[in-house]
Homo-oligomer: A and B are copies of this chain.
Amino acid sequence: MTAPAGGAVAFLGPVGTFTHQAVLTWARERGTLGGPGAGSDEEPGAGPLRPEPLGTVGEVHDAVASGAADRGVIAIESSVEGHVVPSLDALVGSPDVVAVDEVVLDVSFDAFVRPGHDPGALTEATAHPHGLAQCHRFTASRGLRAVPASSNAAACRDLAGHQVAYGPRLCGELYGLETLAERVEDFPGARTRFLVLCRRDDAPAVLRGTDAPAWRTMLAVTPVVTGPGVLARITAAFGERGVNMSSLVTRPLKVREGQYVFVVTLDAAPWQPGVRDLFDDLLAAGDSLKVLGAYPAEPGGRGLDGVLPDHVPTGGVRRGDDAATVARGLLW
C-alpha cells in the first residue's frame, strides 16, 4: 500500500498527539508526508501528505466521508485499555468510511525542557493527567510537583523554563524542545493500534493495489434475533468455514433493548474464498453484515499480543481439581 501523494490525512488533534505520531509513522512506512508545519496551499496530488488536526473522531469521519481528507487516522485499541469504544462505535455507525490499513505504535513518553533552562531550577512536571499518571516515578524521583495540562501537546507547547513536560517524541521537534530523558513512563511496553480510514467507495481500488502476505478483516454482525444460541450459531459458522476469529466484542444496540452487534476480527481478507462462503452463510441465516475494515496483518510481533499487562487468570479451575477448589472458583 502506498500513501497517496499530496492529500490530507485527518486525525484527532491537537498537533503533537500520539495519533499525530501515528500519522507520521504510517506515512513514513507507506509513502511520503510533509513535515508538521507543511502548509495547506501545496498542490494536491503533487506534494507530500498533509496531516490535518481535527477536534473530534466524528470530524475525522466527516472529513474522510466528504472527501475533504484523503485518509483519516484513529486510535482503535490499546494494549492496556482495550478497544477504544467510541472509535469502534463510529466505524459501526458510518455508512461511508472504512479502514484500509493499520499502524501499531509504542506509547512512550519523553521528558522535554526548554533549551537553555537552568537544570537546578526545574520544579514542576506537566502533562495531561493520564500522562502524569504514567510518568509518576520520574516526577517523584526528581522531586517535581505535578501540574495538569489539557493535553500532552499543550503541556509541551506552553512549557515554562522551570517545567518538565511529558509527551510523544514528536513534540520535541514540533515545539523546539530539548529532550531531558527518553522513555520515562513507569511501565514500558504499552502499544496502541491505529486504523487508517478512507472512503468506502475508494476502498476496493486501494485494497486491490495492495500486496500483502496476510490480511485481517473487521466485521460487524447484527443478528435479526438474539437469545440463547445466537452467538453459538454465528461462531459455529466461522468454525465450519475454518475462519479464525482473533477478537470479538459485543456492543449493545441503541434501537432494541437486549440486542447486540458483534464486532469480530478475522484472520483473512473479505474476498478470500472461505470468508466469502462464511459471509454467504451468515446472510442466508438473516444476519446483517458490514465490513468495517480490511488491512494487511502486521508481521509477527508488531501487534498488541505479548505486550499486555499481567492479566493471566489466576484462581481458575480445571477438570480434575478437587471439589473444594472447584466450588471456590465457581462460587458453587
Contact = CB atoms under 8 A, between A and B. Distances in A.
A164 interface: no
A201 B325 CA distance: 11
Given A95-B315, A200-B315, A271 B332 contact: yes
Main SS of chain A's interface residues?
mixed
A330 B271 CA distance: 8
Nearest to A201: B328
A231 interface: yes
B80 A82 contact: no
A289 B304 contact: no
A141 interface: no
A98 B310 CA distance: 18
B233 A239 contact: yes
A250 interface: yes
Interface in A238-273: 238-240, 242-255, 257-258, 260-261, 270-271
A303 to B, nearest CB: 9
Contact of A248 (B92, B250, B309, B316): B250
A251 B148 contact: no
B228 A93 contact: no
Contact of A222 (B235, B255, B313): B313
A290 B329 contact: yes
A248 B248 contact: yes
A332 B276 contact: yes
B236 A98 contact: no
Most buried by B among A255, A309, A329: A329
Interface residues on A, range: 35 or more
A130 to B, nearest CB: 9
Given A148-B129, A246-B258, A270-B332, A231 B220 contact: no
A52 B153 CA distance: 35
Contact of A244 (B88, B228, B330): B228
A331 interface: yes
A145 to B, nearest CB: 11
B306 A254 contact: yes
A290 B271 contact: no
A245 B229 CA distance: 9
Most buried by B among A233, A239, A251, A255: A239
A290 B306 contact: no
A247 B247 CA distance: 14
11 contacts: A82-B82, A93-B314, A95-B314, A129-B148, A217-B331, A220-B313, A246-B258, A248-B249, A283-B326, A290-B316, A290-B330
